[in-house]
Amino acid sequence: MEQVVEFLTNHPLLTAAWVVIAIVLLVVQLKHMKTGVKSLVPQEVTYKINKEEAQVIDMRPVADFNKGHIAGAKNIPQSKLDDSHKELEKHKNNPIILVCANGIQAGAAGTKLKKAGFEQVFKLSGGYQSWVGENLPVVRN
């Protein structure tokens, strides 16, 4: 412990840089926790669908949705999600799970929904690909 204190006192610039980086990381993490959308693995999504009446919103293009989707999912492509808040209002008290192709686009869309007043917004970690990768059932049109 003495060596740590000695290092910190002998290198004030490195110490200050480390403290600044730690504070920035902490602030970013706290901000993400407040506005970020929690990721769920496929098993958690299944639980929310079965026990909490979650609504799955598939944000992929219609052609991809028709090739296969999670049972009970509604297709609202990402480009139309901002215009569909009225349609989602009836699910405002239930969890809403956003699904995109690979889990990247759903986070930003979920943040927008949270800002619009939807409290229980989640995203499928890894997107539709993770659902298929777990060999979970899909519906094909």
- Indicate whether 73 and 28 sit together in one domain: no
* Residue 71, pLDDT above cutoff 90: yes
**Does 89 map to a domain?**
yes
- Indicate whether 14 and 41 sit together in one domain: no
Check if the beta carbon of residue 70 is closer than 8 Å to that of residue 139: yes
- Tally of domains in the chain: 2
| First CA to last CA distance, the chain | 65
Question: Which pTM does this prediction carry?
Answer: 0.75
* pLDDT one-digit tens code per residue, 113-141: 988 888 899 999 999 999 999 999 999 87
Distance CA 76, CA 81 (A): 6
- Indicate whether 26 and 63 sit together in one domain: no
Residue-level pLDDT at 81:
86
- Indicate whether 51 and 117 sit together in one domain: yes
**Does 138 map to a domain?**
no
